[in-house]
Amino acid sequence: MDHREIPPAPSRRLPVSVIAYGAAVIAAIGLSAGFGAPGPEGFALFEGKVPLEFVLFVLTLLGVALFHHHTLALALTGLGSVLAYKLLFVASFHPGEHFVHEWRIVVNLLGLLVGFAILARYFEESGIPRWIPRILPNRGPWGGFVLLCYVWVLSSFLDNIAGAMIGGVIARTVFRGRVSVGFLAAIVAASNAGGAWSVVGDTTTTMMWIKKVPALDVFRGIVASVVALLCFGIFAGAAQQKHSPIVVEDRSEKVSIDGGRLFIVALILAGAIATNLLLGFPAAGVWAAILLGAFLRRPAWQEVPGAAKGAVFLLSLVMCASMMPVKALPGASWETAFGLGFVSAIFDNIPLTTLALQQGGYDWGLLAFAVGFGGSMIWFGSSAGVAISKDFPEARDTGRWLREGWFIAVAYVVGFFVQLAVVGWKV
């Protein structure tokens, strides 16, 4: 008879986080029904000033921040609760019309997040990350700082998601897998800062370009971007050096470079740039290149499930944000732009940019920096942060991100006001 211990069956109980969120939703609905002001647009609390959708969205964000082991379940639960509420109580909400309007953003983000996960594995297996330490300074904070500069430059002509994922691959190699959460936050910040001044570096800046905002107007944000990079980069490099310095290897040892994989990386990046410029749809070029590259090297399809989970999480928050009843922003001014930087850390920057473009009157370089770089302050505030968390799950701990990446918020404030002082508010 086999006396081996039979493992217990996996628990089917709901995570405590989901139960807590459900209880909070029920309480919010109860309070709205009892004390809120009902109307054709649903319930609103605090004398009719705060729509219930905002309460549900804030609860979702709080749940994601507090229960980082169950982020996907909470994001999906939040999306379901907001959608159910809109269907049941908001007469003006038409789901078909709404989601037809949003489909392009959804498909593009999904394609980029999953496609760039495959790109990152191609890049890792090309041998380049093993060669990179040979050209990085290996004393003091400068190795980490120079790596962040590479990410910044890379993201200025690529999508910031690709910049962050390639930066994460390099960091994992040069620091032997011991990358601090603070440095991960800095990689995301570098990718967002690099993309914020280029019309091909970020979805929001490309949106501005498509809406006839001159590329030079966006380029002016480079002042804030450079200042922010200097500000957070040195602190991040010093903290990472203390956590785990760059490992110095025998530089005479030959590193084998896989030219085929490197060619596929270049092909994917070229596809993203070309279709972004021609179609405003970089995901199409990414996947066309992946399929073509499959004839040379087999894609790392095993990366797809993890990347897809991250994409579904981000898209759940994006769709929640898109259903918020925000019809206009405060008047266009530097004060509004400054505040939007903090808002973008928790509220998707795509609808914020859409509203700003409809409103007009902004300094587009300063606004691009605010909504682009501002999302770096919290890991789920940008697609680059969500993408890097696939390979570094510890990045999902919002408390650690804020504690170890405190210099990002400081860099945002310093960069914004240096730009305002040097360049001014240009409309």
Please say which residue of 44, 65, 93 terminates a domain. 93
350 and 312 in a common domain? yes
| Cβ neighbours of residue 44 closer than 8 Å, sequence gap 6 or more | 32, 36, 37, 50, 51, 52
CA separation for the pair 242, 356 (Å, rounded): 42
What's the pLDDT at 4?
43
363 and 215 in a common domain? yes
Residue 133 gets which letter from DSSP?
G
Please say which residue of 35, 63, 93 terminates a domain. 93
Amino acid at 178: R
382 and 288 in a common domain? yes
Neighbour count for residue 29 (Cβ, 10 Å): 18
Please say which residue of 93, 120, 149 terminates a domain. 93
Residue 39 gets which letter from DSSP?
B
> Is residue 160 included in any domain, yes or no?
yes
Query: Does residue 388 contact residue 353 with C-beta atoms inside 8 Å?
Result: no
> Is residue 3 included in any domain, yes or no?
no
What's the pLDDT at 37?
53
Domain that holds residue 316: 98-422
74 and 33 in a common domain? yes
CA separation for the pair 273, 319 (Å, rounded): 26
| Cβ neighbours of residue 24 closer than 8 Å, sequence gap 6 or more | 59, 63
277 and 129 in a common domain? yes
398 and 308 in a common domain? yes
What's the pLDDT at 34?
58
Distance set, CA 111 to CA 32, 250, 259, 287, 366 (Å) = 38, 39, 25, 7, 29
> Is residue 4 included in any domain, yes or no?
no
369 and 252 in a common domain? yes
266 and 194 in a common domain? yes
309 and 362 in a common domain? yes
Domain total of the chain? 2
284 and 418 in a common domain? yes
> Is residue 156 included in any domain, yes or no?
yes
29 and 128 in a common domain? no
What's the pLDDT at 141?
75
82 and 170 in a common domain? no
Count, residues in the chain? 427
What's the pLDDT at 72?
86
List, as one string, the DSSP characters of 238-260.
HHHHHHSPPPP--TTSPPP--HH
| pLDDT of the chain, 427 residues: tens digit per residue | 444 444 444 445 555 655 666 666 666 666 655 555 555 667 776 666 778 888 888 888 888 887 877 888 888 988 888 888 888 888 788 877 777 777 877 888 888 888 888 988 888 888 887 777 777 777 767 889 999 999 998 888 777 888 898 899 889 888 888 999 999 999 999 999 999 998 877 878 888 887 788 889 999 999 999 999 999 999 999 999 899 888 766 566 677 888 899 899 899 888 888 888 788 788 899 999 999 999 999 998 998 988 888 889 888 888 888 888 877 778 889 999 999 999 999 887 877 888 888 888 999 999 999 999 999 999 988 888 988 988 899 999 999 999 999 999 999 999 999 999 999 998 8
- Which two tokens mark 140? 């003091």
What's the pLDDT at 23?
66
